[in-house]
Structure 1
């Protein structure tokens, strides 16, 4: 293997790393690029050759290459092979210059009316006057107090209906809740099925617990039931993870019939569903959650990060039975222990005084205004939901996703490439724009005009065009 000296380094990394082999290989490839062992345009050996040298199977190497392509490290062309891409490097699209406006974080805009800073200052002062400081600054009950669960059940009732208080948990953020549920239902090596283009947080969870993600094709209504059934027959997954309403990043929303069809497949295949629902309450009339249509099969997670503020670190979880509630509480305790007392008190106060609904309505109004601006500036042909916080931007033929985002970054605009969201197959020619993180509508509009100019810029061909 003298022609490929870096493979010895890869073999050493695989032998000593406790992580999944495919992730270790992707990390080793990235390190080889950073150290200069591999350069832009270098051709990698065939996957089968790598598998034989490392003593692993071809599937593992294929998964490693898929992960490396997602990171923007390599390009593959049928009949020509796999090459190190131009500008490859760890998080290349993040580090190509300072951003004037960061449009990567899917945050709700901070409302000016009512003024959020003044509300927080006033409410924190009232809480400190009314409640014992030792209690506020101490450890909390994992899963929330009875009162906090009651308030949570009331908050999500428009989406899942009335549920008993003992079925609702209060968790320190959706990501810890999703990790707790996934670790409770699965063992290392199990399969989770999800959309082929999916929220990156599920990738993080799968890597942490050594789970295998399998992607399912979607259409304008989200995951396609017949494709889900086919994947289930082939891979026998333990869990289905999905965002049925205003999917991140595609913005697709399942119709009521699509939700019923997905549940029918899940029932037939004895598949449990993890329903991630960050956005339903941004809609005036949300569709019923999967958890409202099938109590026994769905674990439901609704975060306040997208409807009020990520700073509250609060998510509400509804589980199908008492045994799962007990097991998930134990998992949350192991992962994140409990919510922060002062933030829990602020959240509870907002729920009790209806301030939460006032803030929610202000955020709804501002997001609809920003979606209108995006449609006016960017035009038609992109995936948008008038109530949602992001745009799934369609790119012209001459732009690959990672290259488009890297070039936009050099122009002071931070976006997210489709490679970050792609579970399997080729990344689509798309990028996500988060509309809520701009400081105000005027700043957003200026930034979107910048995005439009990048869209219209016809880039020079890269090394992949050279024969």
Structure 2
């Protein structure tokens, strides 16, 4: 059992949240490692001079956040990072029609694609090629899908030849294959300082080192990227230049050119995650157009056509494609032919483009709703994006505000969830506008957030 005593010096807010915050920081810094047994809550309460209810509540909230796990008859233990990530994914992916309003998941609106996919499935079932789609496929068998991939990539602003395209089971699988195929244990992967955390989890699994590139209000800072290129010799840089999650920024064209130039001069592979790009009509040209021989471009249909249509495409330099194909084969052998056929037909007949336009229009409508309700506070958002990034006003702390929201049946994500380094974690929250299918529920959640923002933290009923 660890002799753990949290340092509460200088912390604000309810005592149980102070304990929780200290615990989260000690887990992040590995002062508390996975599997460590914590002292009983009554013993910790005595050491801190607080009530047993306070420490019990801190432990209970830590279990909810998947920081700890309790074992009957044995005690309370620090969970592994993988268990934490898995619990978070399972807890929030389902779109509930009752219960808490979930504004924590950055998923597209469901429902637009269903009648079109029904139609396509009927066409496939009635055709002559069904049996072939239910069997194992070779690369040669799937060449007829490369034209659909080329059309989709071209709509994203990227030119591609058949020998530069790799099909994947969605964007995240594409990122997985890029890291697996192109990097080796010990290689250094750069990410933005606020980033898509599953990529860092993948990096840890593959034995990669990671470092964060500083960001400002306009996105990643090219000078910070070059400084790391000179001093640390990274192998690759993963970034989301369009509708970045969580900050909503779209990297300006001049910065894109600078980053492409730096990558070319230092031989760094750019992994450009552009899954949100089709939503933004006026986006700058992708990094892949400035550094085509240095960039693995990642796109998918999941964010714009249908979240369950797990099809993605990589556009990469031809020299890197064999390694990417190998990673695909090792992980899933092949993109399921039936799924790929459905996606290809939707792309070729223009349905995918129309569904993307519907998602864009829905995003614009919901962003307008958010502005009308949250307009009394400052936040960052793009009119065609799925989410809002809100630095919290006044004395609010992100973990405290998140707990307030949860008590009022609204789920949001705090800045710490995206921070590559603990020191980069801002007092901010991400509010996702498209996970909730029902706009009445969305409006209720936004109004709850607006009402809480009008209060000071000390006015909350969460005090113990």
Q: TM-score, normalised by structure 2?
A: 0.78
- Whole-Å separation in 2 of the counterparts to 1:90 and 1:326: 34
8 Å Cα contact 2:2-2:38 kept in structure 1:
no
Deviations along 1:323-347, whole A, 9 cap, x unmatched?
Answer: 3101110011111222223222211
Residue aligning to 1:429: 427
- Whole-Å separation in 1 of the counterparts to 2:413 and 2:457: 18
Residue aligning to 2:107: 107
- Whole-Å separation in 2 of the counterparts to 1:28 and 1:122: 52
Deviations along 1:164-190, whole A, 9 cap, x unmatched?
Answer: 122112111111211111122222222
Indicate how the Cα distance of structure 1 residues 207 and 93 shifts in structure 2: closer, same or farther if over 3 A, else same: closer
1:443 to 401, 417, 441: 441
Aligned pairs for 1:23-62 (under 5 A) are 25=30, 28=33, 31-33=36-38, 39=44
Q: Secondary structure at the match of 1:249?
A: coil
User: Is 2:416 the counterpart of 1:411?
Assistant: no
**CA apart distance, 1:317:** 0.4
Aligned pairs for 1:182-331 (under 5 A) are 182-321=179-318, 323-331=319-327
8 Å Cα contact 1:192-1:237 kept in structure 2:
yes
Residue aligning to 1:349: 345
Structure 1 stretches lacking a partner, 5+ long: 6-21, 44-67, 75-83
8 Å Cα contact 1:99-1:409 kept in structure 2:
no
8 Å Cα contact 1:176-1:336 kept in structure 2:
no
Residue aligning to 1:15: none
Indicate how the Cα distance of structure 1 residues 307 and 426 shifts in structure 2: closer, same or farther if over 3 A, else same: same
- Whole-Å separation in 2 of the counterparts to 1:35 and 1:170: 51
Q: Secondary structure at the match of 1:170?
A: strand
Deviations along 1:241-261, whole A, 9 cap, x unmatched?
Answer: 111111111111111111011
- Whole-Å separation in 1 of the counterparts to 2:238 and 2:140: 22
Q: Secondary structure at the match of 1:28?
A: coil
Indicate how the Cα distance of structure 1 residues 251 and 4 shifts in structure 2: closer, same or farther if over 3 A, else same: closer
- Whole-Å separation in 2 of the counterparts to 1:144 and 1:291: 28
- Whole-Å separation in 1 of the counterparts to 2:144 and 2:439: 37
8 Å Cα contact 1:93-1:406 kept in structure 2:
no
Deviations along 1:351-406, whole A, 9 cap, x unmatched?
Answer: 12211112111111111111111111111521101111111122123222222222
8 Å Cα contact 1:93-1:405 kept in structure 2:
no
8 Å Cα contact 2:113-2:306 kept in structure 1:
no
- Whole-Å separation in 2 of the counterparts to 1:41 and 1:445: 44
**CA apart distance, 1:131:** 4.1
Q: Secondary structure at the match of 2:430?
A: strand
User: Is 2:165 the counterpart of 1:168?
Assistant: yes
Indicate how the Cα distance of structure 1 residues 324 and 35 shifts in structure 2: closer, same or farther if over 3 A, else same: farther
Moved more, 311-320 or 392-401: 392-401
- Whole-Å separation in 1 of the counterparts to 2:231 and 2:398: 30
Indicate how the Cα distance of structure 1 residues 99 and 415 shifts in structure 2: closer, same or farther if over 3 A, else same: farther
Deviations along 1:290-337, whole A, 9 cap, x unmatched?
Answer: 00111111111012111112211011100112x310111001111122
Residue aligning to 2:367: 371
Indicate how the Cα distance of structure 1 residues 345 and 285 shifts in structure 2: closer, same or farther if over 3 A, else same: same
Structure 2 stretches lacking a partner, 5+ long: 6-26, 49-61, 69-77, 93-97
8 Å Cα contact 2:102-2:410 kept in structure 1:
yes
Q: Secondary structure at the match of 2:292?
A: coil
Taking only aligned residues, the RMSD between alpha carbons, in angstroms, comes to: 3.4
- Whole-Å separation in 1 of the counterparts to 2:156 and 2:120: 28
Indicate how the Cα distance of structure 1 residues 26 and 291 shifts in structure 2: closer, same or farther if over 3 A, else same: farther
Residue aligning to 2:9: none
8 Å Cα contact 1:142-1:333 kept in structure 2:
no
Residue aligning to 2:379: 382
- Whole-Å separation in 2 of the counterparts to 1:143 and 1:302: 22
- Whole-Å separation in 1 of the counterparts to 2:406 and 2:330: 39
Aligned pairs for 1:44-193 (under 5 A) are 99-111=99-111, 116-141=113-138, 145-193=142-190
**CA apart distance, 1:41:** 10
8 Å Cα contact 2:133-2:337 kept in structure 1:
yes
8 Å Cα contact 2:3-2:38 kept in structure 1:
no
Indicate how the Cα distance of structure 1 residues 455 and 172 shifts in structure 2: closer, same or farther if over 3 A, else same: same
8 Å Cα contact 1:144-1:169 kept in structure 2:
no
- Whole-Å separation in 2 of the counterparts to 1:256 and 1:401: 32
8 Å Cα contact 1:189-1:210 kept in structure 2:
yes
